[in-house]
Structure 1
């Protein structure tokens, strides 16, 4: 196998209860690390790699897969059956420097065909008018008499050390736009799910807080 990223998909389970039965909506998020059907992709994968990816997805059996770093609809169709899922792909800023001839990174959704949904305009604010930053994929689904808003994002990478770095400044601006999106959902009593690749050292922050509490 060639260059397959450690398998770290995130899974969220939403349990919606009716008067008689409880139905489960299974939502999965996964950064696919340059998944593309082109042989010239920055991360090359062989047949075994695709088999392993399909095996993980089949085991979790998601109703909705929110994916990041997928190069095309053809790519996602290599790991999920188009007979069972609809595929939605974000756009991105059209600029020669950041639009490559062989592959690009997009966010998107694979939605089981029995789920009613509406595709909403891409969440372009987190692009910050920087041609290389990705758009968020916006979606609304109907489930158990609820309308649920889903936003799939892939935020700026590279904010690991200095908070004054360019990457950290851009990430901070992106988080402000996400805060406004969340505020709108809350003010309008919209059920929502925000998911994706936040490129944020969450575990490091939590560990640091635990260490400080322990030392005190």
Structure 2
């Protein structure tokens, strides 16, 4: 794909895979963006498809503190109260999608006796960073109230240019190819997502789409990525912050499905990527990924 090689070369110049900044920019101010699917984060201990104890929530809070991101796009969160058990309100302001859904509390697949809670997208924004909420991107639901919408913000870091960010969680079950029922739904979302990208690319603010795409976008000739990364308008010349790296979160899965997608302007400000793995027991079936952008 056209800009994987270009972006990989840029990333080698700008930063290492651990987020190390290129010499000469170590002290330049940056904004750290992150995305984390927290896997069925419930509001109440012992509930949902991933029942947790207070010790689990405490470990997740420590993970977020160590991640030390300024803006975190999250997925699979039951409620604002659930998010605030992980994203400390003393540090972060939580914004979560308004979607209600159909309150479908069916059984969790392969987990007898457990019931699924709502899965919502949202953001945790470090307190003191100004932002403006835009209307939720409900078109991504393609008419299904149980599919996730996107949460859309304009972040206005002090001392830097704004960046528009969108937290997404696309249809699961179509990580590659296009031949199953899940793919039929995902491929309805693809042109809708492209429209949002193109509209933002035509505006005057750099942007990043962040979250769980449920798609191996970095695979050669991926049809979804080819549709989005078409450089039309010119700022829709996109880059994956992870470049050509392999995922390290789970040895069973070497391809990322969680991404931070940067437009051409944000790519010029890119200063480093990191996948934050777990030091011990996995706290989620996804690890957080992050990218640093210079404030300019």
Task: Give the direction of change, closer, same or farther, for the CA distance of 1:22–1:93 in structure 2 (3 Å limit).
Answer: same
Indicate the RMSD between aligned Cα atoms, in angstroms.
Answer: 2.9
- Residue in 1 that maps onto 2:32: 26
Number of the residue aligned with 1:47: 54
Corresponding position: 1:139 with 2:148: no
Query: Per-residue CA shift, 1:103-160, capped at 9, x if unaligned?
Result: 3111011111110101110001110001221111010111234221110000000114
SS of the equivalent of 1:121 reads coil
Alignment match of 2:43 (pick from 32, 37, 48): 37
By how many angstroms is 1:67 displaced?
0.4
Distance apart, 1:102 and its partner CA: 7.7
What is the rounded CA distance, in whole Å, between the counterparts of 1:66 and 1:35 in structure 2?
Answer: 14
- Conserved in 2, the CA contact under 8 Å of 1:64 and 1:111? yes
- 1:207 deviates by 10
Q: How many residues align?
A: 192
Q: Which has the higher contact order (CA 8 A, sep 6+)?
A: 2
Which residue pairs with 2:81 in the alignment?
74
Rounded to whole Å, the distance in 1 between the matches of 2:81 and 2:209 is 25
* Residue of structure 2 in register with 1:157 after alignment: 172
Gaps in structure 1 of 5+ consecutive residues: 1-10, 16-20, 211-216
Confirm or deny that 1:56 pairs with 2:71.
no
Q: 2:125 aligns with which of 97, 111, 115?
A: 111
Distance 1:152 1:98 in 2: 24
Counterpart of 1:125 in structure 2 is: 139
Post-superposition offset of 1:37: 2.1
How far residue 186 of structure 1 moved from its aligned partner, in angstroms, is 1.2
**Could you tell which deviates more after superposition, 142-151 or 24-33?**
142-151
Please point out which of 68, 90, 97 is paired with 1:90: 97
Stretches of structure 2 that go unaligned for 5 or more consecutive residues are 1-16, 22-26, 107-114, 223-243, 245-296
**Quick check: 169-178 or 118-127, which moved more?**
169-178
Structure number with higher strand proportion: 1
Whether the 8 Å contact between 2:104 and 2:117 is mirrored in structure 1 is: no
- Following superposition, the deviation at residue 81 of structure 1 comes to 1.8
- Please say if residues 105 and 116 of structure 2, whose CA atoms lie closer than 8 Å, have aligned partners that are also in contact: no
